[in-house]
Structure 1
Amino acid sequence: MAIADFVRNSGLLLYPQGLEVIAAFCGCLYAGVIAIPVPPPESGRLKRTLPRLRAIVKDANATFALTTEAILSLVEGVKGEFPEFDQMKWIDTATVDLSLAEGWQDPQVDKDELAYLQYTSGSTSTPKGVMLSHFNLMHHASYLQRACGYDENSITHTWMPYFHDYGLVEGMMVPLYNATPCYLMSPFSFIKRPIQWLKNITKYKVTHSQAPNFAYDLCLRRLKSKDVGQLDLSSWEGAGNAAEPINPKVMMNFVETFSPCGFRWETFAPAYGLAEYTLLVSSKPKGTHPVFTCVDASAMEQDKVVEADPQQEKGTRVMASCGRLVCETNLAIVNPDTLTRCAEDEVGEIWVSDPSMAQGYWQREDATKETFQAYIKDTQEGPFLRTGDLGFFKDGELYITGRMKDLIIIRGTNHYPQDLEWTVQHLNPVFRSDYGAAFSVEVDGEEQLVVVQELERRSGELDFEQLLGDIRQEIAEEHEIQTYAIVLAKSGTVLKTASGKIQRRACRQNFLNGSINIAAVWSDNAEVMDKFAAG
């Protein structure tokens, strides 16, 4: 409340993961001002983190920033290069006089007033501020309480960052709403020691903890034999899995590896969501088994859903369901070209409608109308939120096939980049998991496939010709397409968003510019080879 009495209008929140940022966020809510959680600048990565912060500052028009002494010192050192920072009031909240809380007055906030701006990750476009009201947050917290099976005995643990909707809403705000314990871990600590996440779950008897697919894969890769005996995951009831494509093989390997530690299939809770919907659209109910479906890959490339025999090794695709719709969520699978509902056996764009829908994009009227005010053409049902994601709804379960803007279309056939990336990364352990990008480039009027794949650090002597040949052969056999170019990149090359999503468009641009830090490259096109040889 001391913070609430101190701030006005709208303000950035820049903190390390911890209680301070929760206090600052709640202080903004108490004050009736708009909170803007953003990634703090990192001393070792200023060139990469400051431009994003600058873009948000310019877009949000914030009047102040709440932060810590250490981050404030870091910002002071670069204010000369970033004049936008000098136009705000910077406040080290540790210096705020707590006695100010005694003068706090209820701002009489209306439920439809904005509570915070959630800046999107920028995986496919410039970051946009999603406008979320007090009602959006409270309504959705009640939804998650029901859909994810929280009760008075629930215990949450999160390392997901506060500036990501998964971390802020389910990781931090839902425990506050439920009045149940929550333990926080730094995202950096997780990346350095992912098994510590599982050790914390063991120590605190955690029931709910969420992460993207790559986190479960990272635990598998970093696990040592001595760790298994130290883990007890039997208390874990909801292992949320969302924020990026879900790989069934990773789920299977995780269950197989950690079942001796008490991890069960029904613990996994695949889900799907987006900031524009506050958080989750769908999630697997607690205590039920995840659902998988096997579909014909050729039919899927034509946007048709045809069931296939799971025993058939070639020409099929096993997909993990993202669960059932959260509470009263209204869903439509819509043809993005005709804006009419798809048939049950067709892939289309996912449209959703509910009071969980955000108010729109901050200061972007046209984008708000396009995304948040969609109507089905022939029936005029709406307004719906257009998610930009493709999928289908089968037997009450939602399946995500990919993102419209990332879709690769070659000779009239659809290919989802994550499928191609997973094919490559499972070929050889030297290929860094979740650090590859598949995309298309136009060559002589035709779309052609390019794959950029990072190598693990300290990979030793490698037979690059063999590795490149293996990739070409595997993609040709598994996906029946030819590869135009393959780049094996040094570690630290493939760009990600602040929330860990592959920035395929940025990788594509770097490929076109010839600015990738390569270890090896292959292409039948001599110009491509010459471009990287010159670099």
Structure 2
Amino acid sequence: MYQVKYSPCLAAEESFVSLLKERAAYQSSKTAYTFLSSGKTEESSLTYQQLDRKARELGAILYGLGLKGERALLMYNPGLDFVVAFFACLYAGVIAVPVYPPKRNQSFHRLQAIIKDCDAKEILTTSNILSNLQQGLIDRHELHSLKFLATDNLPIQFSQTYNLPEIGITQKDLAFLQYTSGSTGNPKGVMVTHQNLLVNCEEMNRVFNHQPNSVMVTWLPTFHDMGLIYGVLEPLYKGITCYMMAPVSFIQSPFRWLQAISHYKGTHSAAPNFAYDLCTRKITSEQKASLDLSSWKMTLNGAEPIRYDVLERFTQEFASCGFNPTAMSPGYGLAEATLVVSAVHKEDTAEFYRVQAEALQRNKVVKAEQNDDSAVTLVGCGKTEIDTQIVIVNPDTLTSCKKDEIGEIWVSGKTVAQGYWQKEAETAKTFQAKLASGEGPFLRTGDLGFLKDGELFVTGRLKDVLIIRGRNHYPQDIEMTVEQCHPALRPGYGAAFTVETDGKERLVIVQEVERTYLRKINIKEVQEAIRKAVTKDHGLQVHDIVLIRTATIPKTSSGKIQRSRCKEQFLRNTSDDLFVVKSSKVQLS
């Protein structure tokens, strides 16, 4: 049995540097991280002692290069090289900036914008990524001072030259910059401190009840907040073992995720809503028969709108594998609040609330009658822990909403990050909001919802709400209607937005087609199915429909649909369209 000498995160001198040191001292031989190649073969592992040693060695190099206090981009393919580099940055006092390496022939615009915004001095990566990076960035004269370091092939003189002094990292120090995904605008660097991380990890620990023998299984990308903080940092915070695989391993075969949980007796994991949907659609009966999910105690569902039908199907489909419905933990969070704001406790069952669809359009919350076929079932995202406070605010009057009103979700507490890097005006607007009464400051999330008996229900995003003929419509509801109306349409890969024509807001649908239907789709049949379904469920006429090839809809780096970019492409006639059903004066090339 491992004896852990460590106090809760609220100790003033605590940081993730001191946590790793304690893990290396008191749990030295315990496996910290194991990477599964193709989601099933153990490719590499690190004990806490090995991680500490490798992080110190690389940290000494970074410190010797004069990078203390500077920003360094961490650009790695999935694997343990990233984990070592991240903790090396913490040891050396370098502000890490996790990003995903662009693929060959992929645009470098977002990467260049991040480098310029944070004034990065170094890119930490691997040898096989380095040449592509240098070629893609070489023509940018404003990046002439940027340097590259392949951490998997370090010159021998580095380790012989540099020593790592005790820097004295505190809770107030920045740990890393989490660049937002850009679903509603240009990426911004969220400043996350050690205190933000420690408080958020402690909150998750209380809600999800990690034990010394817990086992994490994750495929989430480490450049994204949920993959980094819950998938990588939470295991170290609690001193448990983590099995990691590449996101593409899951996407190619969702079975690999559940197979790893079954094989390694995984107790905790996390994924966006689409992942649970993918499991129900892609995992066969034969594969289910080989799974034992009885060890799975908690799985976080977050990072995108959570759908009641997906949760119900998943729990029903995998009940025969031993999956316990109480393991499903819907949650809500955002990078600006480090990660989790609220989540359903491990011991509790998710709350569902059926409300009148017509009332939602008026920003009202009215419980639906049992025989109301048009009712919408919302999923509760739990409550908060520690000092996090949630208030529901009218975004126009800046006053607290009544219990039956939908408003913007505002958050305060130690989990709220410090603001956006070098963006004072945007930081003040988003992180320092105050109610009309003067109470504050609060973080304005831009998300809409309401509280019911302390439980948070999220209904949509403020900027994405569609106002048609004076009524509010949530695009995700329309998108769900569309994807379910015909088997040729790919679930989770559609966008609903409005365009103004003749002084009126009109509805446009952009939707991917399933790959198996590309050669046999009946355009008129799909057109009719979409129009009938949207009219029946939402009382709306569809102005235009754009059907696009598989895997071409604009998405953020974390997988969220970029509705604003879809709209821009539509208006610029640059959408990558496969078929176009024209119904108005708006024309696509």
Residue 273 of structure 1 aligns with an amino acid whose one-letter code is G
In the alignment, the residues of structure 2 paired with residue 125 and residue 412 of structure 1 have an alpha-carbon distance, to the nearest angstrom, of 25
Separation in structure 2 between the aligned mates of residue 16 and residue 390 of structure 1, nearest angstrom: 35
User: What are the ranges of 5 or more consecutive residues in structure 2 without an aligned counterpart?
Assistant: 1-55
In the alignment, is the contact (CA less than 8 A) between 2:272 and 2:303 conserved in 1? yes
Partner SS, residue 462 of structure 1: coil
Separation in 1, partners of 2:340, 2:161: 34
Kept after mapping to 2: 8 A contact 1:133/1:358 = yes
RMSD: 1.5
Q: Which residue of 2 aligns with 1:2?
A: 57
Equivalent position amino acid for 2:284 in 1: K
Q: Is the contact made by 1:487 and 1:520 (CA closer than 8 Å) also made in structure 2?
A: yes
Most deviating of 414-423 and 133-142: 133-142
Alpha carbons 2:127, 2:153 under 8 Å: kept: no
The reply on whether 1:57 has 2:112 as its aligned counterpart is no
Question: What secondary structure does 1:4 align onto?
Answer: helix
User: Are the counterparts in 2 of residues 2 and 100 from structure 1 also a CA contact under 8 Å?
Assistant: no
Q: 1:155 aligns with which of 215, 218, 241?
A: 215
Q: CA deviation at 1:76?
A: 2.5
Which residue is equivalent to 2:127? Answer: 69
Cα distance change on mapping 1:310 and 1:78 into 2, 3 Å? same
Deviation string 1:102-145 (CA, Å, 9 cap, x unpaired) is 82111122321211000000001000000011111122111111
Q: Which residue of 1 aligns with 2:417?
A: 358
Corresponding residue to 1:194 among 235, 241, 254: 254
| 1:496 match | 555
- Matched with 2:486 is 428
Go from structure 1 to structure 2 and tell me whether the alpha carbon gap of 1:205 and 1:83 turns closer, same or farther (over 3 Å shift).
farther
Runs of 4+ in 1 over 4 A off after TM superposition: 97-102
Q: Deviations over 1:172-193 (max 9, x none)?
A: 0010111100011101111111
**Alpha-carbon shift at residue 521 of structure 1 (Å):** 2.5
SS at match of 1:351: strand
1:449 is displaced (CA, Å) by: 0.8
CA–CA distance in 1 between the matches of 2:264 and 2:440?
44
> Are the aligned partners of 1:41 and 1:71 in contact in 2 as well (CA < 8 Å)?
no
1-structure distance, mates of 2:249, 2:486: 27
Equivalent positions of 1:320-339 (< 5 A) are: 320-339=379-398
2:164 aligned partner, one-letter code: W
Amino acid of the structure 1 residue aligned with 2:463: K
Aligned to 2:92: 31
Q: Which residue pairs with 1:245 in the alignment?
A: 305
CA distance in 1, matches of 2:142, 2:551: 29
Assess, with a 3 A threshold, how the Cα gap between structure 1 residues 464 and 38 changes in structure 2: closer, same or farther: same
Q: Using the TM superposition, name which of 270-279 and 453-462 deviates more.
A: 453-462
Matches within 5 A, 1:394-405: 394-405=452-463
Separation in 2, partners of 1:338, 1:360? 24
Q: Is the 8 A contact 1:330 1:352 kept in 2?
A: yes
- The answer as to 2:142 corresponding to 1:81 is no
1:93-242 aligned within 5 A: 93-96=151-154, 99=159, 103-242=163-302
Asked if 1 retains the 8 angstrom alpha-carbon contact of 2:60 and 2:92, the reply is yes
Matched, 1:341 2:439: no
Q: Secondary structure at the match of 1:226?
A: helix
Contact 2:61 2:159 in 1 (8 A): no
Alignment: residue pair count: 525
Q: Give CA deviations for 1:310-348 in whole Å, capped at 9, x if unaligned.
A: 44212x100111112233311110000000100011000
Q: CA deviation at 1:85?
A: 4.8
On the 8 A contact 1:79/1:86 being kept in 2, the answer is no
Residue 452 (1) aligns with residue 507 (2): no
Q: 2:126·2:153 contact (CA, 8 Å) conserved in 1?
A: no
Unaligned runs of 5+ in 1: none
Counterpart Cα distance in 1 of 2:388 and 2:370: 31
Q: Is the 8 A contact 2:61 2:163 kept in 1?
A: no
* Worse overlay, 299-308 or 319-328: 319-328
